[in-house]
Structure 1
Amino acid sequence: MYKRLFGILVMVALIGVFIFNILESNNDTAEDVNSNGATIVSPDATEEYGGIEPGEEAPDFDLETLSGGSAKLSDYRGKKVILNFWASWCGPCKKEMPEMQDFYEEYQDEVEIVAVNLTWSEKNEKKVENFIDQYNYTYPILLDKDMKVSNDTYMAYALPTTYFIGTDGKIQQPRKIGPMTYEFMVEMIESLN
């Protein structure tokens, strides 16, 4: 009986070690979630997650706007741009959007906020429209319906993801993954030329 009990304990211990090793290897991967629910990408994950680096030209794109028109990133050349990727179901996005609105109301003469909705991940486009109307957000909302801009070009795999583009059309600061505050946006814009 003791041999059997000892055998069971050894098996449980081995299973525990196996599970611990699997969990540890998952912790060594590229991402973690912070207390706000935002995905954080570790510095070691730059290669895996890709994205546009400071000094690189911000790739142009042409997307439909929520109001039914279309907009290109290059339409904003000559202006500082905060390029933000978000979704209406994203908790950290919901947290930063009121701060983005406050910032936009104060700084819209100096900077443009271009908020690209991951429309392909939404239940439907009407949900995005209702969300924007409910909170009276006035900065431009662009719709990425086929993942090409958010995933293929800017590699916005975690939300929100934000790029900071100078008047020269180049990324001038490291991208931000997770919600921004008003103060952070002011700091970023002051660092752009």
Structure 2
Amino acid sequence: MRNLFNIIFIFFLPVLTHALPVSLKGYFPKALGETVYIIGFKDFISQTEEILASTTIDANGYFQLTLQLDHPSPLILEIAFYRLSFYALPGSNWQFNSEQFQVTENGNPLLPQSTLPCYIHGPLTDSLLRNMNAQIADFLDSAAYEIYLKQNTTILDTFTNKTLTINLFDKKFQEAASYQLATLYPGARLPLGFNAFHELQPKYQSWHFCNWLEDYLAKALTRENPLSANSGLTRDLILAINQKEDLQTVRKLLSQHFQITDSLMEDVVTLAALKVFYRTPIYQNKSIINLIRQVKETTSNNDIAFIAKNLVQRFTAFLPGNQVPPYELITQTGDTLNPAKTRGKYSYFVFARKYCSSCLNSLELLRPLYERYKDKLQIICIFTSHDTLTESGFAKKMNYPWPVVIAGKNYDFLRTFQAFSLPLEILVNENGNIVAWPAYRAGEGLEAVLEKLLSKQPNPPKAPLQRKW
């Protein structure tokens, strides 16, 4: 039950009006030459990540970075997709040390959330948060069965009250901790001290508030409220979202359900709810994106417009019709690949690794398709393991007839293409527009898709282009 990334980020200090430097130093003697990234968030509702700074661990194992912060913020230290979350205050100094950490031979975990083990020395605020998080983790280790299977929340009530009455916690900390503790309940739960939703303020610049709000809405709207015709709210939302794309009706339904009277809170709840609905199958993603665009176009609040813009960008990054993100790759033979050089043919990107049997099987099934369509289709194989030397030798041994790129240390490229769960296939047309992400694989429908797109037959067979996850 331990989750090292479920850290509470609290605003202990007043909001600052000017930026102050944050100094970060580290010692990783077994990760020489690795790139160090400091990652932040554009906003706390979309949780769109952005790289704030980067450097390289030198030959002696040290790195040093300085960045500017104008308000307290959660940050992520990332090395080779291994991550560590911490809470930074403007003007704070940090030291990260690990003489043990090294990238595993077959590094680049499937998800960029593997723990980065190291000693951390930073402000007291961060230490307090980690200590409380450890207490929560220990509590859930022993109490999870009672809470989530037996639905016994009495012990959780006791733990919450005990945690919030520790003298060390001031009012700001108690508020933030109450948001965090409310998310532990199996049902939608208001933070301690609030009796009704309308009593809350729209603190969209607070990490802990936004995390609680998304959790609360997910439970209230998709678990406790039936996702079926038996629920009048669900019926009305489906009609407003899927059929009419009526933002005003969606806002009204949510406001009535949660008794919201503040217009800014309406905007915040609407965006957070649409984010929840985006991953709920009964709602159409295209309609949700259009509704978020309407929020951006109609709001008078610049912050809300910025959040809506980030949500749209996050949800549309790989939509069919969009341009493929820019890239610059060097193949094993020394050739350069970029969107300009791949225009004129369809491109089929395959992200793979040596120790992924599904990846290797997919590549072998592509050989006859490559021979059939090589005048119209270019296949680009991208190996992603951190063990670049081994994968380079393996790819040469396999003698693939298409370009091969060894990209295990090209973290920016892999992050841009979200190449974490493998194999991943992307189909791009001759103009550089995405046709399908993820695309069908050979043996699972790709043949029919290529026949439809590339065959000269007047009536090619119908086939879906996009593979479902």
**The TM-score by the shorter chain falls in which range?**
0.5 to 0.7
Are the structure 2 counterparts of residues 149 and 50 from structure 1 closer, same or farther at C-alpha, using a change threshold of 3 Å?
A: farther
Deviation at 1:133, TM superposition (A): 2.6
Is the 1:86–1:159 Cα contact (8 Å) retained in structure 2? Answer: yes
Match for residue 80 of structure 1?
Answer: 346
Are the structure 2 counterparts of residues 174 and 63 from structure 1 closer, same or farther at C-alpha, using a change threshold of 3 Å?
A: closer
Deviation at 1:15, TM superposition (A): 4.7
Match status 1:69 vs 2:198: no
After superposition, give the CA deviation of every residue in 1:79-99 in whole Å (9 maximum; x if it has no partner): 011112112222221121101
Give the distance between the partners of 1:19 and 1:130, measured in 2 at CA.
49
Match for residue 355 of structure 2?
Answer: 89
Are the structure 2 counterparts of residues 55 and 74 from structure 1 closer, same or farther at C-alpha, using a change threshold of 3 Å?
A: same
Match for residue 404 of structure 2?
Answer: 141
Match of 1:189 among 450, 457, 462: 450
Match status 1:122 vs 2:386: yes
Moved runs in structure 1, 4+ residues, more than 3 A?
17-22, 45-51, 190-193
After superposition, give the CA deviation of every residue in 1:6-27 in whole Å (9 maximum; x if it has no partner): xxxxxxx9653447599x9xxx
Is the 1:93–1:159 Cα contact (8 Å) retained in structure 2? Answer: yes
How many residues are matched?
157
Give the distance between the partners of 1:49 and 1:149, measured in 2 at CA.
19
Give the distance between the partners of 2:147 and 2:390, measured in 1 at CA.
43
Give the distance between the partners of 2:389 and 2:316, measured in 1 at CA.
31
Is the 1:49–1:155 Cα contact (8 Å) retained in structure 2? Answer: no
Is the 1:163–1:173 Cα contact (8 Å) retained in structure 2? Answer: yes
Letter in 2 for 1:128: E
Is the 1:88–1:128 Cα contact (8 Å) retained in structure 2? Answer: yes
Is the 2:391–2:406 Cα contact (8 Å) retained in structure 1? Answer: no
Match of 1:44 among 258, 264, 279: 279
Letter in 2 for 1:16: Y
Match for residue 150 of structure 1?
Answer: 414
Give the distance between the partners of 2:148 and 2:332, measured in 1 at CA.
46
After superposition, give the CA deviation of every residue in 1:55-105 in whole Å (9 maximum; x if it has no partner): 101123111111233222321101011112112222221121101222212
Give the distance between the partners of 2:318 and 2:344, measured in 1 at CA.
19
Is the 1:81–1:113 Cα contact (8 Å) retained in structure 2? Answer: yes
Identity %: 20
- Structure label with greater radius of gyration: 2
Deviation at 1:182, TM superposition (A): 4.0
> Which structure is higher in RCO with an 8 Å CA cutoff and minimum separation 6?
1
Are the structure 2 counterparts of residues 49 and 131 from structure 1 closer, same or farther at C-alpha, using a change threshold of 3 Å?
A: farther
Match of 2:422 among 150, 155, 159: 159
Residue 52 of structure 1 aligns to a residue whose secondary structure is coil
Match for residue 33 of structure 1?
Answer: none
Question: 5+ residue gaps in structure 2?
Answer: 1-141, 152-183, 187-217, 219-277, 286-310, 455-469
Match status 1:16 vs 2:145: yes
Give the distance between the partners of 1:104 and 1:16, measured in 2 at CA.
52
Letter in 1 for 2:430: T
Question: 5+ residue gaps in structure 1?
Answer: 1-12, 29-42
Match of 2:375 among 83, 105, 109: 109
Is the 2:429–2:435 Cα contact (8 Å) retained in structure 1? Answer: yes
Give the distance between the partners of 1:58 and 1:172, measured in 2 at CA.
9
Give the distance between the partners of 2:382 and 2:320, measured in 1 at CA.
20
Deviation at 1:172, TM superposition (A): 1.6
Deviation at 1:107, TM superposition (A): 1.6
Give the distance between the partners of 1:136 and 1:188, measured in 2 at CA.
26
Residue 95 of structure 1 aligns to a residue whose secondary structure is helix
